[in-house]
Structure 1
Amino acid sequence: MLTRRSFTFPALSFAAAGLAGCGSRSIVALPEIDVGQSPRGLVTRTLAQPNYAAVYAEYPGEKFPIAAIDYQRIDTRYLRQTVAFPRDDKPGSIVVDPAGYHLYFVETPRVATRYGVGVGREGFGWSGAARINMKRDWADWVPPPEMIERDPSIRSQLEMTPRGLGVRGGSKSPLGARTLYLFGEGRDLGYRIHGTFEPYTVGTNVSSGCIRMINQDIAHLYARVAPGTPVTVLPA
Structure 2
Amino acid sequence: MRFRNALTVFGLVTTLAISGCATTSEPEKVETAKIFTDSYGKVTDAGYALPAIPINKVNPKFHRQIVSYETSEKPGTVVVNTRERFLYYVLSGGKAVRYGIGVGKQGFAWQGEAYIAWKQAWPTWHPPKEMAERKPDVAKYVDDGMGPGLSNPLGARALYLFNDKGEDTLFRLHGTPEWASIGTAASSGCIRLMNQDIIDLYERVRPGKGARVVVLQ
- TM-score tier by shorter-chain length is 0.7 to 0.9
- For the 8 Å contact 1:4–1:125, the answer to whether it is kept is no
Determine the C-alpha separation between the residues in 1 that align with 2:26 and 2:119. Answer: 12
TM-score normalised by the chain length of structure 2: 0.85
> Per the alignment, in what secondary structure is the counterpart of residue 92 of structure 1?
coil
> Per the alignment, in what secondary structure is the counterpart of residue 147 of structure 2?
coil
1:8 maps to: 16
- Report the AA paired with residue 166 of structure 1: G
Determine the C-alpha separation between the residues in 2 that align with 1:91 and 1:18. Answer: 7
- For the 8 Å contact 1:182–1:189, the answer to whether it is kept is yes
1:145 shift after superposition: 1.3
> Per the alignment, in what secondary structure is the counterpart of residue 49 of structure 1?
coil
> 1:175-190 alignment to 2 at 5 Å?
175-184=154-163, 185-190=165-170
> Per the alignment, in what secondary structure is the counterpart of residue 218 of structure 1?
helix
> Per the alignment, in what secondary structure is the counterpart of residue 11 of structure 2?
coil
> Per the alignment, in what secondary structure is the counterpart of residue 174 of structure 1?
coil
> 1:30-41 alignment to 2 at 5 Å?
none
1:221 maps to: 201
Larger radius of gyration: 1
1:203 maps to: 183
Determine the C-alpha separation between the residues in 1 that align with 2:32 and 2:61. Answer: 18
- For the 8 Å contact 2:108–2:188, the answer to whether it is kept is yes
- For the 8 Å contact 2:104–2:190, the answer to whether it is kept is yes
1:8-48 deviation digits (Å, cap 9, x = unpaired): 144335778999xxxxx882xxxxxxxxxxxxxxxxxxxx2
> Per the alignment, in what secondary structure is the counterpart of residue 223 of structure 1?
helix
Determine the C-alpha separation between the residues in 2 that align with 1:198 and 1:145. Answer: 22
1:152 maps to: 136
1:72-125 deviation digits (Å, cap 9, x = unpaired): 000001110111113221101100000000000001142100000000001001
1:36-71 deviation digits (Å, cap 9, x = unpaired): xxxxxxxxxxxx213x22x00112343212111110
Matched residues, number: 203
2:99 maps to: 115
RCO higher in structure (CA 8 A, sep ≥6): 2
Determine the C-alpha separation between the residues in 2 that align with 1:148 and 1:2. Answer: 17
In the TM superposition, structure 1's runs of 4+ consecutive aligned residues that sit over 6 Å from their partners are 14-19
> 1:47-126 alignment to 2 at 5 Å?
48-50=34-36, 52-53=37-38, 55-126=39-110
Unaligned runs of 5+ in 1: 20-24, 28-47
> Per the alignment, in what secondary structure is the counterpart of residue 7 of structure 1?
coil
Identical residues among aligned pairs (%) = 37
- Report the AA paired with residue 148 of structure 1: A
- Report the AA paired with residue 132 of structure 1: I
- Report the AA paired with residue 215 of structure 2: V
1:186 shift after superposition: 2.3
Determine the C-alpha separation between the residues in 2 that align with 1:231 and 1:106. Answer: 11
TM-score normalised by the chain length of structure 1: 0.79
- For the 8 Å contact 1:133–1:181, the answer to whether it is kept is yes
- Report the AA paired with residue 180 of structure 2: Y
Determine the C-alpha separation between the residues in 2 that align with 1:5 and 1:131. Answer: 12
Unaligned runs of 5+ in 2: 1-8
Pair 1:142-2:142 in alignment: no
